Amino acid sequence: MFNGLSLDQAPPISVVLRFFLTLPVFGLILSLFMIFFPIEILTPNHPFSLAGIHLLFLGMISMGMIGALFQMQSVLGGAPIPSPLGNSIIIHTLLSAGILALAGAFILQLPELFIIAAVLLGSGIVYFAQILLPLLLGKMGHDTLKGMRFALFSLLITAILGVVMASSYANGNFENTHAAIKASHYSIGLIGWVAALIIYVAFQVVEMFYVTTPYSDWCKNNVKRILGISLLLKVIWLFTALQFPWVFDIFIALLLVGFVITTVKRLRSRKRRVSDVSIWFWMMGMGLLMISLLSYGALMVRHYEPLEAMSLIAFALFALSIILGMMGKIVPFLVWFHLNAAGYMETPIMSNIIPAKRLKMSFLLFGFTALTALLSPFFPLLLIASGLSGVVLFSLLLFNLVAAAKLYRNVLATGTRFTFEP
Amino acid sequence: MLLEFMRDDHRACDHLYTEAENALADKKVDEAKKLFGAFYRATNHHFDMEEKELFITFEKRTGMMGGPTQMMRYEHQQLRALLESMLRSLNEEKYDDFFGQGESMMIMLQQHNMKEEQMLYPMIDRALSGDAELMIQRLKDMPQ
């Protein structure tokens, strides 16, 4: 019986949706946090600020990226992640519980919670890496797979450094190397995991979705080398307390500026001219990355604390913008793909799964949330406005995702399936 | 060798589709129909080249009957069905449906092309070894 096309290769839709659905939930928690504790969140190294940062980078950005990796591995890698349903439940549960424990540990300052968070998050990430990394080892032709390997390896190192720091917080005993570990933790996490994965995904999807000229082979071959070498040298510099470790930030920043310019050029000269909200998210993401780099540059010239917060907020929003834009495309496609491949005659078209109007609304809300968050280091009460806007944004996102999942279930339950013998 | 020839054909098909989609977005319906017709014929011809010549030769040479080529045939079937739906939407002037179906078709087609370019064509190139030129000529000679 013919019952689908390459469906065997794709993970069940619930695998990816599980991670995507968690993103707006953590988004809502963070937004409420921003409404009630704006000053604390904007105070560098305040426990509430650290809780907020981890809710954002782990609960939202990493959740979205890990969900996407489950899908991408099956499409790009040819060899899907084994037992995707069971493994995704294990990883998702460990990460979700770990993120809540870590945020709770920072807020409540409970040593036991730091240990619990370290165990849960450490094991979740190590478990994920030990499943996916072997599939990405060996000789691979595809640049995005090589980028995924680099990003995953960076995530693993970030997690190990995070576990070391969590034990310091639990014991209240900070070694001399604490500052170096912390700087390495966020540098490798932000650049090696988040930025590298987005760049290598861009190499694939920008050309594929919008029909643009491909990124040059030089870019595809050298981005991970430049990022890898710069990060490695920066870590060595940090641990040996050598002077001017920020020199390596300049190389990384120049590469990211190149990425922004190249991507914007490609998107502007794309062959598909049809308006698409995901392109707006990509463009906004590129703008936010540029703001992040410029404010970091300004910070180097003149140490004015709000610039540091602005740079970090803009960087997180850059990643979030790309993730939200891609989710608006991937989720309807997955619903359509799974139903259509299973032969359901009532399979809706993509634009009826998440209507363009709701996607445009989420873009506008994201724009307002981003603008107020960006300005909040200078006008802290704006973080309350950002939090309020975030509540609406993530409620809408949650509604879109739940509605798409419900539509999928309804067709499965009531739809007519077309089958034939070949 | 064969990879380049087939990849160029993928790009040519992409180009035709984007032209059709752009024309419809600009409300140039007749031009869009003409361009989509060209895309429809070119894509089906591409699938025919693979199914009637390339895959059969590859399967004979390697003995791999139920592997990647079978997967690609399945995907061709799904893409053909999508192209039919899009043609129907265009003829029935259901342009929103056309754009919605086009979105699914493009993602599906691009993923399909990527799998061929990354995995299958290099395998076929290795299987054909010195006969790649001959195969390309046979594909060029196939009536459209």
Q: What is the pTM for the complete model shown?
A: 0.92
Q: Residue A29 sits in a domain of what CATH number? A: 1.20.210.10
In degrees and rounded to multiples of 5, residue A161 shows phi and psi of -65, -35
Residue A340: count of CB within 10 angstroms of its CB? 22
> Based on the structure, what is the number of domains in chain A?
1
DSSP notation for A366-400 = HHHHHHHHHHTTTSTTHHHHHHHHHHHHHHHHHHH
ipTM for the complex shown: 0.84
Nearest to A272 among B21, B78, B118 (CB): B21
| Contact (CB, 8 A) for B13 and B46 | yes
**Chain B interface mutation, best of A143, A351, A357, A407, highest count of B Cβ atoms under 10 Å:** A351
Nearest to A271 among B15, B101, B108 (CB): B15
Please indicate if any CB of chain B lies within 8 Å of the CB of A333: yes
| Contact (CB, 8 A) for B18 and B55 | no
Please indicate if any CB of chain B lies within 8 Å of the CB of A274: yes
Tell me if A350 and B21 make a contact (CB, 8 A cut-off): no
What are the structural domain ranges in chain B?
A: 2-141
A97: containing domain: 13-414
Query: Per-residue confidence of chain A (422 residues) as pLDDT tens digits?
Result: 233 335 557 889 999 999 999 999 999 999 999 999 999 999 999 999 999 999 999 999 999 999 999 988 887 776 778 899 999 999 999 999 999 999 999 999 999 999 999 999 999 999 999 999 998 887 666 788 899 999 999 999 999 999 999 999 998 888 889 999 999 999 999 999 999 999 999 998 998 889 999 999 999 999 999 999 999 999 999 999 898 888 999 999 999 999 999 999 999 999 998 878 999 999 999 999 999 999 999 999 998 999 999 999 999 999 999 999 999 999 999 999 999 888 888 889 898 999 999 999 999 999 999 999 999 999 999 999 999 999 999 999 999 999 999 999 999 999 888 765 54
Please indicate if any CB of chain B lies within 8 Å of the CB of A133: no
What is the nearest CA distance from B121 to chain A, expressed in angstroms? 12
What is the nearest CA distance from A275 to chain B, expressed in angstroms? 9
Burial of A420 (0-12, 13-18, 19+ CB in 10 A): exposed
Tell me if B74 and A5 make a contact (CB, 8 A cut-off): yes
Amino acid at the residue A29: I
What is the Cα A146 distance to its own chain's centre?
18
- Kindly list the residues from chain B whose CB atom is less than 8 angstroms away from the CB atom of residue A336: 104
In a domain, A67, yes or no: yes
In a domain, A4, yes or no: no
Please indicate if any CB of chain B lies within 8 Å of the CB of A5: yes
For the domain covering B2-141, report its CATH number.
1.20.120.520
